[in-house]
Chain A
């Protein structure tokens, strides 16, 4: 669930960054006063928001992968009626 949300956030972040880059590049190519002000305020705002979203998505992804991490050399705990019950060790067979 978290991994899916992280992918969605990254998607929005990528789109946001592309919009911000288009804004800023257009203001560099056509340096008109209004475009400059908009690009360097709204454009940079979108870019910062997109970066924050990406970093949050990475944090979420790392968190979710940490929860489901199972090392290969560890056994999975048994499930069933006996699982978790403390039984005395069986006597040695003569």
Chain B
């Protein structure tokens, strides 16, 4: 995790350095207005082509890495209750317990909510664009924790595949503890969170109160 973060920091530093060089070359051209000689063209090719290309590549990768982290998910204020619960060391919610697990670390939101398919990362990011659109159009002017906005809900039911990335359905302990539900679980009739439903308790209670207010 530390390695990943340092890579992200390195990419950001490269992107910022290249952006600064590109702007410096641009500023030099605007101030001096030199003739378009070979040297000028070469410098401009660096400033307008090579450096921006590096900024674009490294910036995209660094930004994508950052979008997987919990602080990014919590940067929309409506996610405040979810973020606070996940980061609460005393909370016993599933979100908090998984966030305390080093294998999830900062990426706990993404690990559980990303689509588990070959194109999962792409469909998840497409959903992220949808979140952003909804945020701008429906939640931007709501209260500090999104009060006054419509209740937050998942676009589709939470699938057990996300849990099964780590929790095997064939493990002996699992089979012993879930002997009655195992067939229903495998067929998809019952999901993990149907029973283990203390996922985001703070947010769920807020959602329930919001629904009551709506009625």
Interface residues of A (CB under 8 A from B): 3, 6-7, 10-11, 13-15, 17-18, 20-22, 24-25, 27-29, 31-34, 36-37, 39-40, 44, 47, 50-51, 54-55, 57-58, 61
Contact = CB atoms under 8 A, between A and B. Distances in A.
A43 to B, nearest CB: 9
Given A21-B52, A22-B23, A28-B12, A10 B44 contact: yes
Given A21-B26, A27-B63, 10 more contacts: A10-B44, A13-B44, A14-B47, A22-B23, A25-B20, A33-B72, A33-B76, A40-B59, A40-B63, A54-B48
A18 B28 CA distance: 12
A68 to B, nearest CB: 14
B6 to A, nearest CB: 16
B44 A54 contact: yes
Interface in B14-52: 15-16, 19-20, 22-23, 26-27, 29-30, 36, 41, 44-45, 47-49, 52
A51 B44 contact: no
19 contacts: A7-B36, A10-B44, A11-B30, A13-B44, A14-B26, A18-B26, A20-B52, A24-B55, A24-B59, A33-B75, A33-B131, A33-B132, A34-B136, A36-B66, A37-B132, A40-B60, A54-B44, A57-B36, A61-B41
A47 B52 contact: yes
Nearest to B128: A33
Contacts of A54: 44-45, 48-49
A33 B78 CA distance: 13
A6 B36 contact: yes
Contacts of A11: 30
Contact of B62 (A13, A28, A47, A50): A28
B58 to A, nearest CB: 9
B106 to A, nearest CB: 13
Chain B contact patch, size range: 35 or more
Contact of A58 (B22, B41, B63): B41
The 3 closest A-B pairs by CB, nearest first: A25-B19, A21-B19, A14-B26
Given A17-B22, A28-B12, A36 B48 contact: no
Contacts of A18: 22-23, 26-27
Interface residue SS majority, chain A: helix
B158 interface: no
B165 interface: no
Contact of B29 (A14, A21, A28, A32): A14
Given A21-B23, A22-B23, A28-B16, A37 B48 contact: no
Interface string B46-85: 0111001001100110110011000010011000000000
B215 to A, nearest CB: 31
B23 A51 contact: no
